[in-house]
Amino acid sequence: MTQTEFLNIVMPFKDKVFRLAKRILVSHEEAEDATQEILLKLWNNKTKIEEYRNVEAFSMTMTKNFCLDKLKSKHAQNLKIVHSNYKDNNISLQKQVEVNDSINWVERIIEDLPEQQKIIIQLRDIEQYDFAEISKMLDMNQTAVRVALSRARKIIREKLTKTHSYGVK
């Protein structure tokens, strides 16, 4: 496999690998390092890459496993999740403050979710993977993925509603 062929296969999902790494590791620098490490591993195994039916799903699984291993290491205690993929420059300052506040609340709520639910939220709601791909990446059946996603969304919805109700019932 030539370098051009490799790049044509890997480059379309490189940003997804980074975003998943950032969701799990939080730190921008740590996510960049993880992305580079995953791409290097793929490059070193480029002769085997054609054996995989879905290189993107395989790469996302590699990313998840690599990042979770990194979190388990001793230097991982200072990492936190920060993510926002929403940007609209044509809104009023008040609306922008409200949107940023909501995004911050959602980030904090997601931070408190169990690790598996965080990853499923990232893969489904942010990266837009379908349930079959997520179930392969996480080695879970599709029903379990759907249940975990439903529970995570319910927790987010309840906590966000509680936050925005300001004590009014």
Confidence of residue 145 (pLDDT cuts 50, 70, 90): very high
3-7, 83-87, 141-145, 163-167: least confidently modelled range: 83-87
* Residues 127 and 151 grouped into a single domain: yes
Question: Which residues make Cβ contacts (< 8 Å) with residue 102, sequence separation at least 6?
Answer: 160, 164
Q: Where is pLDDT greater, at 16 or 45?
A: 16
How many C-alpha atoms does 141 have within 13 Å on its Cβ side? Answer: 2
Q: Are residues 62 and 99 in the same domain?
A: no
Q: Say if residue 92 is in the same domain as residue 169.
A: yes
Q: Are residues 4 and 85 in the same domain?
A: no
42 and 54 assigned to the same domain: yes
Q: How confident is the model at residue 140 (pLDDT cuts 50, 70, 90)?
A: very high
Spatial distance between the Cα atoms of 135 and 157, rounded to a whole number of angstroms: 23
Q: Tell me what pLDDT residue 74 has.
A: 44
Report the domain count for the chain: 2
pLDDT of residue 90: 61
pTM for this prediction: 0.54
**Which structural domain range is residue 148 located in?**
81-169
Same domain, 67 and 96: no
Check which CATH number belongs to the domain holding 93 and give it. 1.10.10.10
Residues 41 and 88 in one domain: no
Q: Which of 20-29, 30-39, 68-77, 103-112 has the lowest mean pLDDT?
A: 68-77
CB crowding 39-68: b at 16 or more within 10 Å, else e = beebeeeeeebeeeeebbbbbbbbbbebbe
Tell me the HSE value of 6 on the side-chain side, using a 13 A CA sphere.
14
Q: Are 22 and 41 in the same domain?
A: yes
pLDDT band at 46; cut points 50, 70, 90: confident
More confident residue, 74 or 165: 165
Q: Give the model's pLDDT for residue 108.
A: 86
CATH number for the domain spanning 17: value is 1.10.1740.10
Domain stops at, among 61, 80, 99: 80
User: The tokens 């950032």 sit on which residue?
Assistant: 22
* pLDDT of 81 above 60: no
120 with 103, same domain?
Answer: yes
Boundary of a domain, candidates 54, 80, 106: 80
CA–CA distance, 119 with 45 (Å, rounded to integer): 25
Together in a domain, 76 and 37 = yes
Among the candidates 65, 80, 95, a domain finishes at 80
Instruction: Work out the percent of the chain whose per-residue pLDDT is above 70.
Output: 84
Residue 47: DSSP 8-state: T
